[in-house]
Amino acid sequence: MSKRIGVALGGGGVRGLAHVLALEAIDAEGIRPTAVAGTSMGAIIGALYAAGHSGAAINAGIRRHLVSRSDGLKEVLAKRSDLLKWLRLVSIETGRGGLLRPDGFLAYLLDEIGVSTFEELKIPLRVVATDFWTGEQVVFGSGDLLTAVKASMAIPGVFAPVVKDGRVLVDGGVVNNVPYDTLADVCEQTVAVDVSPVRRPRDQELPNAVDALVGMFDILADRVTALKMAANPPTLYLRPPIERVQPLEFEKIERVFAQAAPCMPGFRADLARMLAEA
């Protein structure tokens, strides 16, 4: 009898688009997850997947909005309507709490998902956010999907916090960037995909203000994940070697895919071994 398998997708901004390659590998091995959990971009990709979109379908949707170096004029013109949608995804937030407002981005993604509540999803989903004032983890698994995802990706200082049920909520990566442990009660095996960056020293190179802010957030999330894994690791852990890509550098989508792709054959082999040992 096969075991119940959960898939957890970590936060990391544009680096989280590497999750679609991992989901393609999971699909290729014939795995149908019992449940999915996600933080920040992992929550967005997780919601698409839980709604019934395959890894390949999500990948194709992303590439419709991507102009690659190999695209000629014909390909660019064919993608024109989708590219115009891309330009409207994020707008400047002039109010208190953040620099960017993700409403357009999320509204577009939820339209792609095709559902508005957790209850409509084909696979149970858990989305992680953080209570700003108490520092507690907040796990959503029911109700309005947009509110949960928006809270999960509210990077402090970048996206405005979300207020729900009297709580001020920010990015879940502050307390649980790779939330495989939230599936322990419903899954016997967990597959965790961590898209935290590989950090390498650069001689005498000082980060700018935004890079410093986001970099400190990455360091914090990485340390929290390391402590959690030391105490209770997932069944299978994947961390693609992504470097020199900041969370909001969406112009580097091709680099994310190129850096993550080489480790996917090994990931598929690990998935096959996990299934064989179940």
Q: Residues 37-66: pLDDT tens digits?
A: 999 999 999 999 999 999 999 988 877 756
Coil, strand or helix at 277 = helix
Residue with the larger pLDDT of the pair 153 and 239: 239
Rounded average pLDDT over 97-115: 61
Most confident of 103-112, 151-160, 226-235: 226-235
pLDDT over 50 (residue 137): yes
For position 75, what pLDDT does the model report? Answer: 45
* 2: annotated active-site residue: no
Residue with the larger pLDDT of the pair 181 and 89: 181
Rounded average pLDDT over 192-209: 80
pLDDT over 90 (residue 133): yes
* This prediction's pTM: 0.86
Residue burial 10-28, b: 16+ Cβ < 10 Å; e: rest:
bbbbbbbbbbbbbbbbbbe
Residue burial 221-257, b: 16+ Cβ < 10 Å; e: rest:
bbebbeebbeeeebbbbbbbebeebbbbebebbebbb
User: What count of other Cβ atoms lies within 10 Å of the Cβ of residue 134?
Assistant: 10
Residue with the larger pLDDT of the pair 251 and 238: 238
Residue with the larger pLDDT of the pair 83 and 85: 85
pLDDT over 80 (residue 104): no
Given the residues 71, 165, 171, 222, the one annotated as active site = 171
Residue with the larger pLDDT of the pair 181 and 214: 181
Rounded average pLDDT over 225-231: 93
Given the residues 40, 181, 196, 270, the one annotated as active site = 40
* 71: annotated active-site residue: no
